[in-house]
Amino acid sequence: MAEEKKGFFKRLVEGLSKTRENIVSGIDSIFSGYSSIDDDFYEEIEEILVMGDIGINTTTAIIERLKEQVAQQHIKDPSQCKQLLMDSIKEQMAVGETAYEFEKRKSVVLVIGVNGVGKTTSVGKLAGKLKSQGKKVILAAADTFRAAAGEQLTQWANRAGVELIGGQEGADPASVVYDAIAAAKARDADVLLCDTAGRLHNKKNLMEELRKIYKIIAREYPEAYLETLVVLDGTTGQNALAQARQFNEVANVTGIILTKLDGTAKGGIAVAIQSELEIPVKYIGVGETIDDLQKFDPDEFVNALFNTGAQDQE
Ligand SMILES: Nc1nc2c(ncn2[C@@H]2O[C@H](COP(=O)(O)OP(=O)(O)OP(=O)(O)O)[C@@H](O)[C@H]2O)c(=O)[nH]1
Ligand SMILES: [Mg+2]
């Protein structure tokens, strides 16, 4: 377990390298470039945070907090602000205790999100994770828009070593969920993970589709704990934030999976999502393999971003 954690922290540090270049190198040069703390100093930090996709509201709050602490602690030297800044970012990301109830109970996890964000991949990775924890997992291939979607999920099911329930191309996704619930009950499964289509072009279609699926779950499996995870593509920055808002209007979103944090400079969006939406980011993806999904820990994220605390983790 400790080994796994260390391995992931390393991958997180690596994955966040572009975001780090984007945000932290700029900040470091401000810390060393200024000899005193003045308005320009704060403005430059502010600009870098906003450019790093942390978002204007969150950035304002972070800077306000930083100013407060600088005043309270009578700090004069800019270089002393780094730790304060990190703490202030962590504070903004606090959404209270993030619950992973669905991992402990009989549950249905509905994974939704727009086209190509990484839903199927995340369902596959999550299946692998839960399976390795000794859980009995069933996958529902409720993306019936194209045959390839089912095949892609079947590959993940094989990789993870879990069972998959699918339907014909064009079948009603709610009917796939219905069949999968029957299978989950028959096999006494712990977690039923449902992959869905990303091609529901408008809000009305999406709402209709979700309504049908929720209705089936409520009718057929009322005892199950229901989790709705929205998958967002970290490379899309502020767009991801807008998507999360939209999904939150049509579904009772209980968490976010933020993917593709490897290779993007826009990883700061994780801060904005937690701070502005107060929906917990529960998992992050930092690569394409089955091990590249992990629980999201804001402290660890900020440490990895600033690439400090690596020693503590060893
Ligand atoms: N680098 C990287 N790639 C990822 C990650 N998650 C998913 N991907 C890639 O993103 C692409 C799209 O992933 P899918 O899982 O097919 O996305 P989807 O949301 O199911 O797509 P649709 O079903 O078409 O809506 C694939 O090539 C994945 O390998 C990640 O964390 N990091
Ligand atoms: Mg898919």
* pLDDT at residue 22, as a whole number: 82
Q: DSSP labels for 10-69?
A: HHHHHHTHHHHHHHHHHHHHHHHH-SS--HHHHHHHHHHHHHTT--HHHHHHHHHHHHHH
Task: Inform me whether the pLDDT recorded for 225 exceeds 90.
Answer: yes
Task: Inform me whether the pLDDT recorded for 312 exceeds 80.
Answer: no
* pLDDT at residue 201, as a whole number: 67
* Beta carbons within 8 Å of 252's beta carbon, 6+ residues apart: 228
What SS3 state is found at 123? helix
Q: What share of the chain is helix, strand, coil (3-state, %, to 5)?
A: 55, 15, 30
Task: Inform me whether the pLDDT recorded for 77 exceeds 50.
Answer: yes
Residue 113 Cα, ligand 1 centroid: separation in angstroms?
11
* pLDDT at residue 137, as a whole number: 98
Per the structure block, which two tokens stand in for 86? 């990190």
Residue 236 Cα, ligand 1 centroid: separation in angstroms?
13
Ligand 1 pocket check for 288: Cβ under 6 Å: yes
Give the pLDDT band (50/70/90) at residue 263: confident
Task: Inform me whether the pLDDT recorded for 311 exceeds 50.
Answer: no
Residue 32 Cα, ligand 1 centroid: separation in angstroms?
39
Measured from the alpha carbon of residue 288, the closest ligand is: 1
* pLDDT at residue 147, as a whole number: 77
Average model confidence (pLDDT) across the chain: 90
What SS3 state is found at 304? helix
Measured from the alpha carbon of residue 263, the closest ligand is: 1
Q: At what angle do helices 147-160 and 119-132 cross, to 10 degrees?
A: 20
Ligand 1 pocket check for 151: Cβ under 6 Å: no
Q: Do the bridges between strand 107-112 and strand 225-233 make them parallel or antiparallel, or are there none, so unpaired?
A: parallel
Per the structure block, which two tokens stand in for 298? 């804001």
Q: Do the bridges between strand 281-285 and strand 293-295 make them parallel or antiparallel, or are there none, so unpaired?
A: antiparallel
pLDDT tens per residue across span 15-64:
888 888 888 888 888 888 899 999 999 999 999 899 888 989 999 999 99
Separation CA 260–CA 116 (nearest Å): 11
Q: Tell me the mean pLDDT in the region 83-100.
A: 88
> What residue owns the CA closest to ligand 1's atom 9?
118
Residue 196 exposure: Cα atoms within 13 Å on the Cβ side? 27
Ligand 1 pocket check for 121: Cβ under 6 Å: yes
Residue 14 Cα, ligand 2 centroid: separation in angstroms?
26
Per the structure block, which two tokens stand in for 31? 């810390």
pLDDT tens per residue across span 104-129:
999 999 999 999 999 999 999 999 99
Name the DSSP letter for residue 168: -
Ligand 1 pocket check for 155: Cβ under 6 Å: no
Give the mutation target among 288, 290, 294 for probing the ligand 1 site: most ligand atoms within 8 A of CB.
288
Instruction: List, in sequence order, every residue forming a beta bridge with 108; answer none if it has no partner.
Output: 192, 226
* pLDDT at residue 94, as a whole number: 85
Extract long-range pairs of 99-103: CB within 8 Å, 24+ residues apart: 100/282, 100/295, 101/225, 101/227, 102/191, 102/225, 102/227, 103/130, 103/133, 103/135, 103/191
Ligand 1 pocket check for 115: Cβ under 6 Å: yes
Residue 179's alpha-carbon distances to 64, 135, 173, in angstroms, are: 53, 20, 10
What SS3 state is found at 277? helix
pLDDT tens per residue across span 236-255:
999 999 999 999 998 999 99
Residue 14 Cα, ligand 1 centroid: separation in angstroms?
19
Task: Inform me whether the pLDDT recorded for 203 exceeds 70.
Answer: yes
Task: Inform me whether the pLDDT recorded for 260 exceeds 90.
Answer: yes
Contact present, 8 and 255 (Cβ < 8 Å): no
Q: Cα-atom radius of gyration of the chain, to the nearest Å? A: 21
* pLDDT at residue 314, as a whole number: 38
Q: Is the pTM value of this prediction over 0.95?
A: no
